[in-house]
Amino acid sequence: MQTNTKIAPIMRDFYLRDANTVAPELLGKLLVHNSSQGVTSGIIVEVESYIGPHDKGAHSYLNKRTKRTEIQFGLGGYAYIYAIYGMHLCFNVVVNICDKPEVVLIRALEPVDGIELMRQRRNIVDRVELCNGPGKLCKSMGITIEHYGYDLCKSELYIEPLQHIDKTDIMVSPRINIDYADECKDYLWRYFIKDNPYISRVAGRYKKQQKVMEK
């Protein structure tokens, strides 16, 4: 699927809600990056919520306010980007109102526009492998640490409406790779589109705990 008609970015009010409301509603929407190299986009198929200050998996746990987490304490609708393992970037959407530090991690996309550019950036051909993980999608989409704090309601890096995903087609499971978070590691705050081939690869123990999102 190629998208040819530009649709206006989602506006601020959408993001000014709690993470577990926004996260499942992001599924089916289109993440777009208009870069100097060209346009790339992908359908959001997998996300995770992180809710400070009581979430031990969140960087803002206990209201920890640092140079890295500062953007989380402002209004929703901005990009929170950080590096893991010193090499891979993760793209998050800041949500909720000021002084309620919450984010939604975008874990996987189904590529739509700019697939050849994505392949060049990743040096791979397999379309499924282009964006099926947080670090992969950042590289494919040309998202860099320079986008930290970027306003997602503007016209370079933004999210626009595309598809409505019914709750019966949304699965939930524990979040990935946060075993350090004690009881919080078991929260069912990972949301993804049922049977979508573009979600990230996960260990079998996560698959055993998957269930359809409750109505």
Q: Mind listing the pLDDT tens digit for each residue in 128-170? A: 999 999 999 999 999 999 999 999 999 999 999 999 999 999 9
Residue 29 near residue 160, CB atoms below 8 Å: yes
Cis peptide before 53 (omega within 30 of 0): yes
Burial of residue 157 (number of CB atoms within 10 Å: 0-12, 13-18, 19+): buried
Q: State pTM to two decimals.
A: 0.94
* 64 Cα distance to chain centroid: 21
Helix (H, G, I), strand (E, B) or coil at 2: coil
Strands 79-84 and 88-95: antiparallel
Q: How many helices (H) and strands (E) does the chain have?
A: 5, 9
**Pair of tokens at residue 113:** 């526009």
Integer CA distances (angstroms), 79 to 73, 75, 101, 203, in order: 12, 11, 13, 28
Structural domains in the chain? 12-212 (3.10.300.10)
Q: What pLDDT tens digit does each residue of the chain (215 aa) get?
A: 555 456 789 999 999 999 999 999 999 999 999 999 999 999 999 999 999 999 999 999 999 999 999 999 999 999 999 998 778 999 999 999 999 999 999 999 999 999 999 999 999 999 999 999 999 999 999 999 999 999 999 999 999 999 999 999 999 999 999 999 999 999 999 999 999 999 998 766 666 678 888 76
Taking 3-state DSSP, the helix, strand and coil percentages for the chain, each rounded to the nearest 5, stand at: 25, 30, 45
Unique residue bearing structure tokens 């704090």: 149
Residue 108 near residue 198, CB atoms below 8 Å: yes
**Pair of tokens at residue 72:** 């989380």
> What was the pLDDT predicted at 212?
84
